[in-house]
Structure 1
Amino acid sequence: MDEGVHPATGQEPRRRTRDRRGRGMRGPGVVPDWPGTPALRTARQKFDQLVLDVVTPLDEKWQRHLGLVEYAVEDAPMLPDDWGDETVPLSSLVRGKGASPTRLVIFRRPIEHRATNRDELEAMVHTVVVEQLAELLGIAPGQVDERYTD
């Protein structure tokens, strides 16, 4: 008989694993590329990158007309207690005065709440940014980016 086969049952013994008590895998599921950095990006980091991917080509295209614009991502807008049943804003545009730049803030949580998948999230971020830039430039959103749809 083969070694490792139980003489009475004829089966090989089960290997013991680190999951002896059914608590799941131990240790990281993914090893980072660079020590000391997380291997997986957080939802916030993914959203920030998405906004950056949308804003960069539009800002490069319209930089001459826009002037200095700061783009930011915040989790949620600060709403007054008496806000009521009005919809939560997806972004905020504060026009610059003098030396202060114009500031376009995208609110992550309201946008994520409305999107059901990654494609919708990308489309919604694109729509919000294009509409805000169109307002800033005083032109129709379709002129800012030809991919814009109502």
Structure 2
Amino acid sequence: MTDSPLPPPLPADSAAGPPAEPRVRRRDRHGRGMRGPVAPPQVPLSASRAELFGDLVRDSVERLERRWPQLAEVEFLVGDVPGPPGGPDAGWNDEAVPLGGLSEPVDGRPARIVVFRRPVEIRAKSRDDRALLIHEIVVEQVAELLGLSPETVDPRYGQD
């Protein structure tokens, strides 16, 4: 049996018919139908860890805004991790990783308070511990911004 040479390629502008549609692979084992989501979107199970963390920060901020209305002008952010040690505005070294940060208002930009998600998640394993730690971080940063003690910002600070 001899190998026959391949036919020459068709020119790009030739009409060789419609292009073949790509084959779509679908997972349908044992004829049970397509897999659906694990949980509907309105169920907390479908929320990511970052979304749940953001909700805890928002809850803490709302709790403090009732007592301190001037916090409405402050931006509260969630960062994944702080910048590298020794970097500009890092304020930390290899032995002390910050859990939150504060940047003062500059040139019409409001003050910003950042809570770093990954260092907090590493330190607090349960949701309740995480919520408590986040609230303490937010209270400490607000106290620094307002020039007050954390106990003045939230009388229940350090009691839990």
**TM-score, normalising length: structure 2:** 0.67
Which residues of structure 1 form unaligned runs of 5+? 1-17, 21-25
How far apart are 1:139 and its partner, in Å? Answer: 1.3
Match of 1:105 in 2: 114
- Alignment deviations for residues 62-97 of structure 1 (CA, whole Å, 9 cap, x no partner): 123x57211100111111478652211101100103
Is residue 2:77 matched to residue 1:72?
yes
**TM-score, normalising length: structure 1:** 0.71
| Separation in structure 2 between the aligned mates of residue 56 and residue 87 of structure 1, nearest angstrom | 28
Q: 1:141 aligns with which of 124, 138, 150?
A: 150
- Alignment deviations for residues 96-131 of structure 1 (CA, whole Å, 9 cap, x no partner): 034121010110000000002111101100100001
Match of 1:45 in 2: 51
What does 1:1-150 correspond to in 2, within 5 Å?
26-33=35-42, 40-64=46-70, 66=71, 68-80=73-85, 84-149=93-158
1:98–1:114 distance in 2 versus 1, CA, 3 Å: same
- Bigger radius of gyration, 1 or 2? 2
C-alpha contact 2:40 2:46 (8 A) present in aligned 1: no
Q: CA RMSD in A?
A: 2.7
Match of 1:6 in 2: none
| Separation in structure 1 between the aligned mates of residue 137 and residue 48 of structure 2, nearest angstrom | 22
1:114–1:139 distance in 2 versus 1, CA, 3 Å: same
Range moving further from structure 2, 124-133 or 98-107:
98-107
**Large movers: runs of 4+ above 3 Å:** 80-84
Secondary structure at 2:102 match in 1: strand
Which residues of structure 2 form unaligned runs of 5+? 1-27
1:103–1:28 distance in 2 versus 1, CA, 3 Å: same
Q: Percent identity?
A: 43
